[in-house]
């Protein structure tokens, strides 16, 4: 039977997207607004659910496996109940000729990652006829892990929707790094709050504490805003959270040598070795489906694929470090270019493109700070992982103040290099 007019209140949406973070956030937002959501674990599962549900909308990832992606769309077109169902697609990039192939399948919008949330829900509202309330106040939020510490950076303002996103991002990073004793530094910069922001500040702290499961004594807030100092001081439930005015004070006591303090996960070395040795057991002609819901089965292949063809620069005068990083990515077919100092790197920085750079801070000729300044002048914004040692804390803090968000402490281990790269390069939004 061909689908007739459905109840305007209860809309049906089928979601087949790879990113757990994006998927769970969209799911939550839709369900909060009375939309019924069904999640498919694979393209084959998606075809089955599509036939049974006759959804009002399909949200779909542009899969690496183009055959599986196109087969789903072809089956949709052949299904009388789903042929006219609109489709929204998420993608890293799509060539123009590939975009033209999507036209016959009622694709209404292609969103390129990172996805702009306000634009996304504006489109979903038009398609479903459901109004979505999106917080349009300014607010920039980022989460990084350094030395088993979560750095939650917030600038400009407290955006309610982005606070909701934090719970998923924090959970994702805790799982990625297998952090057993969570510690958190909340950095509030370029921000001025008042009493009207108190509910969102309360929400921020509750989300961070609940999703990280960190004890309050392991949570510090870095801010110069007087209101936040007063707010924390006046809240009995947060009496163990310390508010600091400078980065050194906030980091004191939280950044420790994890191995020395027995916080290293016993499985880390084993996992690292498995990643490097694992080979995909796929026969020619097989159809491989890779989704976040299947990570337990295919995590090694997913990790390798996410780093495939990545262009990496290593700027370090230590030959041992160079070889370690090169060997770490050898199994992933990543392209690694090595430079002995900052001057050598800067000779090609205008003509050679990279996706990621490892940067030592202590080098002859032009050191790491000189490289960072040169990148800022040129407005080059690919991610940089700073390489430093425990006795170079001041240099590491200075690098963070210059905009670096990720660093590794020497001596380096291959699994730490790998996981830090995955954190930075894994696209979610």
Q: Summarize the confidence of residues 1-22 as an average pLDDT.
A: 69
Other beta carbons within 10 Å of 116: 12
Give domain status of residue 259, yes or no: no
Sorting pLDDT into bands at 50, 70 and 90, what band is 298? Answer: very low
Contacts of 87 (CB under 8 A, 6+ apart): 57, 58, 59, 60, 73, 76, 102, 105, 106, 107, 108
Assess whether 123 and 150 both reside in one domain.
Answer: no
pLDDT of 5 reads 42
Sorting pLDDT into bands at 50, 70 and 90, what band is 277? Answer: very low
Of 128, 149, 167, the residue that ends a domain is 128
Q: Is 9 helix (H, G, I), strand (E, B) or coil?
A: coil
Residue 216 burial (CB < 10 Å; 0-12/13-18/19+)?
middle
Q: Is 401 helix (H, G, I), strand (E, B) or coil?
A: helix
CATH code for the domain in which residue 373 is found: 3.40.50.2300
In this predicted structure, the answer to whether residue 201 has a pLDDT above a threshold of 70 is: yes
pLDDT of 306 reads 59
In this predicted structure, the answer to whether residue 394 has a pLDDT above a threshold of 50 is: yes
Q: How far apart are the C-alpha atoms of 56 and 222, rounded to whole Å? A: 45
Assess whether 282 and 407 both reside in one domain.
Answer: yes
Which of the pair, 48 or 3, is modelled with greater confidence? 48
Contacts of 246 (CB under 8 A, 6+ apart): 222
Other beta carbons within 10 Å of 200: 18
Assess whether 242 and 276 both reside in one domain.
Answer: no
Q: How far apart are the C-alpha atoms of 197 and 144, rounded to whole Å? A: 24
Assess whether 289 and 197 both reside in one domain.
Answer: no
Of 104, 128, 152, the residue that ends a domain is 128
- Determine the structural domain holding residue 46 and report its residue range: 11-128
Which tokens sit at 320? 């041992």
Q: How far apart are the C-alpha atoms of 64 and 277, rounded to whole Å? A: 23
Q: How far apart are the C-alpha atoms of 264 and 185, rounded to whole Å? A: 20
Range of weakest confidence among 25-29, 84-88, 273-277, 388-392: 273-277
Q: Is 90 helix (H, G, I), strand (E, B) or coil?
A: strand
Pairing of strands 35-39, 11-16: parallel
pLDDT tens digit sequence for 156-192: 889 888 898 888 889 888 888 888 899 999 999 888 8
Give domain status of residue 305, yes or no: yes
Q: How far apart are the C-alpha atoms of 316 and 244, rounded to whole Å? A: 33
- Find out whether the peptide bond into 159 is cis, omega within 30 degrees of 0: no
In this predicted structure, the answer to whether residue 65 has a pLDDT above a threshold of 80 is: no
Sorting pLDDT into bands at 50, 70 and 90, what band is 299? Answer: very low
Q: Apex CA 293: angle with CA 290 and CA 294, to 5°? A: 50
Of 82, 103, 128, the residue that ends a domain is 128
In this predicted structure, the answer to whether residue 280 has a pLDDT above a threshold of 70 is: no
> Is 53 within 8 Å of 38 (Cβ atoms)?
yes
Sorting pLDDT into bands at 50, 70 and 90, what band is 307? Answer: low
Report the chain's C-alpha Rg in angstroms. 23
Q: Summarize the confidence of residues 269-289 as an average pLDDT.
A: 34
Residue 60 burial (CB < 10 Å; 0-12/13-18/19+)?
buried
Other beta carbons within 10 Å of 384: 26
Which tokens sit at 204? 């921020």
Which of the pair, 351 or 18, is modelled with greater confidence? 351
**How many domains does the chain divide into?**
3
Assess whether 172 and 65 both reside in one domain.
Answer: no
Phi, psi dihedral angles at 292 (to 5 degrees) = -60, -35
> Is 356 within 8 Å of 328 (Cβ atoms)?
no
Sorting pLDDT into bands at 50, 70 and 90, what band is 47? Answer: very high
pLDDT tens digit sequence for 353-368: 999 999 999 898 899 9
Give domain status of residue 133, yes or no: no
DSSP 283-294: -TT------GGG
Give domain status of residue 256, yes or no: no
Assess whether 181 and 222 both reside in one domain.
Answer: yes
In this predicted structure, the answer to whether residue 1 has a pLDDT above a threshold of 80 is: no
Assess whether 283 and 412 both reside in one domain.
Answer: yes
Q: How far apart are the C-alpha atoms of 144 and 406, rounded to whole Å? A: 7
Which among 124, 100, 159 is positioned nearest to 35, based on CA atoms? 124
Assess whether 300 and 417 both reside in one domain.
Answer: yes
| Residue reference for tokens 């839709």 | 30
pLDDT tens digit sequence for 102-122: 989 999 999 887 788 888 999
> Is 214 within 8 Å of 184 (Cβ atoms)?
yes
Sorting pLDDT into bands at 50, 70 and 90, what band is 305? Answer: low
Which tokens sit at 332? 């992933």
Give how far Cα 346 sits from Cα of 318, 360, 384, Å: 18, 14, 14
Mean pLDDT of the chain: 82
> Is 63 within 8 Å of 33 (Cβ atoms)?
no
Give domain status of residue 262, yes or no: no
Which among 86, 103, 84 is positioned nearest to 2, based on CA atoms? 84
pLDDT of 23 reads 87
Return the axis-axis angle of helices 117-128 and 20-32, rounded to nearest 10°.
Answer: 50
pLDDT tens digit sequence for 209-227: 999 999 999 999 999 889 9
Sorting pLDDT into bands at 50, 70 and 90, what band is 208? Answer: very high
Q: How far apart are the C-alpha atoms of 303 and 297, rounded to whole Å? A: 12
Q: Write out the H or E segment, with its range, that includes residue 149.
A: strand 149-155
Give domain status of residue 412, yes or no: yes
Assess whether 293 and 229 both reside in one domain.
Answer: no
CATH code for the domain in which residue 159 is found: 3.30.750.24
Give domain status of residue 1, yes or no: no
Q: How far apart are the C-alpha atoms of 347 and 293, rounded to whole Å? A: 44
């Amino acid at each position: 039977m061909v689908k007739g007019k459905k109840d305007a209140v209860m809309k049906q949406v089928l979601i087949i997207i790879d990113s757990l973070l994006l998927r769970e956030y969209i799911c939550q937002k839709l369900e909060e607004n009375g939309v019924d959501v069904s999640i498919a674990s694979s393209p084959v599962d998606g075809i089955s659910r599509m036939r049974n549900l006759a959804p009002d909308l399909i949200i779909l990832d542009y899969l690496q496996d183009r055959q599986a992606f196109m087969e789903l769309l072809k089956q949709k077109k052949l299904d009388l109940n789903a042929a006219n169902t609109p489709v929204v697609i998420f993608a890293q990039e799509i060539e123009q000729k590939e975009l033209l192939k999507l036209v016959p399948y009622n694709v209404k919008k292609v969103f390129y990652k990172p996805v702009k949330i306000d634009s996304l829900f504006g489109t979903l509202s038009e398609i479903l006829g459901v109004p979505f309330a999106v917080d349009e106040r300014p607010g920039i939020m980022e989460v990084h892990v350094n030395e088993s510490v979560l750095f939650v950076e917030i600038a400009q303002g407290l955006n309610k929707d982005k606070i909701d996103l934090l719970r998923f991002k924090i959970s994702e990073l805790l799982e990625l790094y297998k952090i057993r004793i969570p510690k958190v530094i909340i950095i509030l910069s370029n921000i001025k709050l008042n009493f009207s922001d108190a509910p969102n500040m309360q929400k921020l702290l509750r989300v961070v504490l609940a999703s990280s499961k960190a004890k309050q004594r392991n949570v510090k807030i870095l801010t110069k805003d007087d209101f936040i100092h007063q707010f924390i001081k006046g809240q009995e439930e947060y009496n163990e959270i310390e508010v600091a005015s400078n980065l050194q004070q906030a980091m004191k006591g939280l950044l420790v040598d994890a191995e020395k303090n027995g916080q290293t996960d016993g499985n880390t070395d084993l996992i690292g070795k498995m990643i490097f040795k694992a080979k995909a057991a796929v026969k020619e002609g097989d159809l491989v489906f890779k989704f976040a819901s299947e990570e337990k089965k295919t995590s090694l292949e997913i990790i390798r694929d996410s780093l495939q063809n990545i262009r990496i620069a290593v700027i370090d005068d230590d030959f041992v470090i160079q070889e370690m990083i090169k060997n770490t990515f050898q199994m992933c077919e990543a392209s690694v270019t090595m430079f002995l100092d900052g001057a050598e790197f800067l000779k090609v920085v205008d003509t050679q493109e990279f996706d990621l750079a490892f940067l030592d801070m202590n080098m002859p000729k032009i050191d790491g700070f000189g490289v960072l300044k040169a990148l800022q002048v040129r407005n080059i914004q690919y991610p940089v992982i700073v390489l430093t040692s425990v006795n170079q804390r001041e240099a590491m803090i200075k690098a963070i103040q210059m905009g670096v968000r990720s660093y590794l402490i020497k001596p380096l281990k291959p699994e730490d290099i790998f996981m830090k790269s995955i954190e930075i390069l894994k696209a979610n939004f």
